[in-house]
Amino acid sequence: MSSEFVIQGGAKLQGEVIASGNKNAALPLLAACLLTDEPLVLHNVPRIRDVEIMMQLLRTLGASAEWIGSNSLRLQAADVNACDLSRDLCREIRASILLAGPMLGRVGEIRLPPPGGDVIGRRRLDTHFLAFSALGASIAVNGDFQLSADGLAGADILLDEASVTATENAIMAAALARGTTVLRNAASEPHVQDLCHCLIRMGLTIENVGSNTLIIHGRERLGGAEFTLGADNIEVTSFIVIGALCGGERGLWIRKAAPEHLGMTRLVLRRLGIRFDVEGGDVFVPGHQRLVVEPEFDGYMPKIDDNPWPAFPADAISSAIVAATQAEGSVLFHEKMFESRLYWVDKLISMGARIVLCDPHRCVVQGPSRLRGERVQSPDIRAGVALVIAALCAEGESVIQNVQQIDRGYERFEEKLRAIGANIVRR
């Protein structure tokens, strides 16, 4: 059932929110339960739609998955079968592809319908399949993807792109492979690091965690473990932008924010005039900030772009664009990774933003703009959250439709916003 947010803009937001666990870590960690017949207990798991769908997929394969606390999950794949997965469920989330690596390692086969997820441009699967092939798997495509292997063997693999999910899939496939795998051009995002640290607790040896060259020493079997997910750095970035644009006198505290992963976020948002402080594991965003775009040293218009970690994340570009509409000056955004991800800015333009969409990958934002309330539709998770942020600082009432997209990635988002003073209701 479709739902929508109704937001009255202009409220001053202050107080504190607690960062949720990393959505992009939760999904591969759920898939990792297939690598062992012992229990895997995960804490700080966000209760979001994508996690629930992944739990359903795991149950289809014979695993048990149950909530044992508000944000704690107990998973166990004592017996696993290689039955066909639901096409409808796989169409719901991109992360269904993450079942391929552990299933190849555990039972040697899986039939996987094409994964779905956000419509943000072509998202190729070749990197996954090239890695599986290097480990000894066979891949057949006939509408679905039929993957099989008569035992996997370690290999020296150079990924043709630093894909996060392909890196995670390759790590999990290599975990039960014979011998050692060297994975080059690997992604190193915080959620990839979380997966590595959990697998190490399960008994796997992985060298160079956090780098782009991982060395994985395969094991015949892995054991169970207990692991706590780190904070979702993209959600934290969203709340930093919210605090900077809408903050009241007392400012906004973001608790348990894992600030060690916010280095590039600090550098990039500083170009828009946004500042925040770190105290221990918390982040404080002062209220009443005046945003001014910081020009390049030679006076040229600054550029904000995304790249693989530790550069600025692609998932944070949408929130940064909204921030730029409220900053004095002009800035060029270059979204390099997904060719349809900027098309949502027409909705921001309808709210009064001054944006020139140069091509599918670039736009120029000139601010500050007085945004006005509008009825708009959320096209994907990150653009949907960006539209909510725009509505919070707009004049009048906004209606954000299709917010089940936001529910896929943000836990209790409107509840957190109401707790800091936002005028937002779901209907």
Q: Check 50, 84, 118, 306 and give the catalytic one.
A: 118
CA-based torsion, 309, 315, 317, 320: positive or negative: negative
Question: What are the distances in angstroms from CA 73 to CA 42, 159, 228, 409?
Answer: 5, 32, 10, 17
Q: Say whether 315 is catalytic.
A: no
Whether 214 contacts 186, CB under 8 Å: yes
Q: Which segments of 65-158 does DSSP mark as H helices, in order?
A: 87-92, 100-106, 126-134
Location of structure tokens 């894909």: 163
* Burial category of 84 from C-beta neighbours within 10 Å (exposed 0-12, middle 13-18, buried 19 and up): exposed
The Cα–Cα gap between 366 and 326 comes to 9
Identity of residue 88: D
Neighbours of 138 (CB within 10 A): 12
The Cα–Cα gap between 300 and 218 comes to 50
Question: What is the set of active-site residues?
Answer: 118
